[in-house]
Structures are given as structure tokens and as C-alpha cells.
């Protein structure tokens, strides 16, 4: 599994870093959420899926 945040769609609500802080973060300097690059570790995949399903703007893509 890979995760990507569509920068233009993110409204910086803070939900995804709350659900899965190991993968998602909001930059200290402001701006859209970011996901780690590379493959998501197996144990984190359920939380990443939950974050993607919960994002209010559908900004998180998983593949």
C-alpha cells in the first residue's frame, strides 16, 4: 500500500495525523498534510485506510 495526499484538496483539518501520525503529518510551517513516501508498513495499513475513508475532502489516495 502507498498513500498520497492531494495537496489541493486538503483543508488541513488535522484528522489524518491524529489517526495515523506515523504516516501523516501537517508541516509546522503550514500547508497541506503529507504522507510518508514508500510502502506503508503492514501494521499501519488499517489506520491509513481509516484516515483515507475519514478525510472530509477525499484528499487521501491509497493504492
Q: How far is CA 41 from CA 11, 15, 23, 24, 60, in A?
A: 26, 20, 9, 13, 17
List the one residue from 12, 22, 39, 46 that touches ligand SF4 (CB under 6 A).
Answer: 12
- 10 contributes a contact to ligand SF4 by CB under 6 A: yes
DSSP structural state of residue 42: G
- 55 contributes a contact to ligand SF4 by CB under 6 A: yes
List the one residue from 5, 20, 23, 48 that touches ligand SF4 (CB under 6 A).
Answer: 5
Report the interface residues with ligand SF4, using CB under 6 A. 5, 10-16, 33, 55-57, 59-60
Amino acid at each position: 500500500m502507498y498513500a498520497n495526499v492531494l495537496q489541493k484538496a486538503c483543508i488541513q483539518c488535522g484528522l489524518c495525523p491524529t489517526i495515523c501520525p506515523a504516516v501523516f503529518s501537517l508541516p509546522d510551517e503550514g500547508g497541506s498534510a503529507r504522507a510518508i513516501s514508500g510502502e506503508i508498513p503492514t501494521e499501519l495499513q488499517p489506520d491509513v485506510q481509516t484516515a483515507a475513508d475519514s478525510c472530509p475532502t477525499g484528499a487521501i489516495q491509497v493504492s
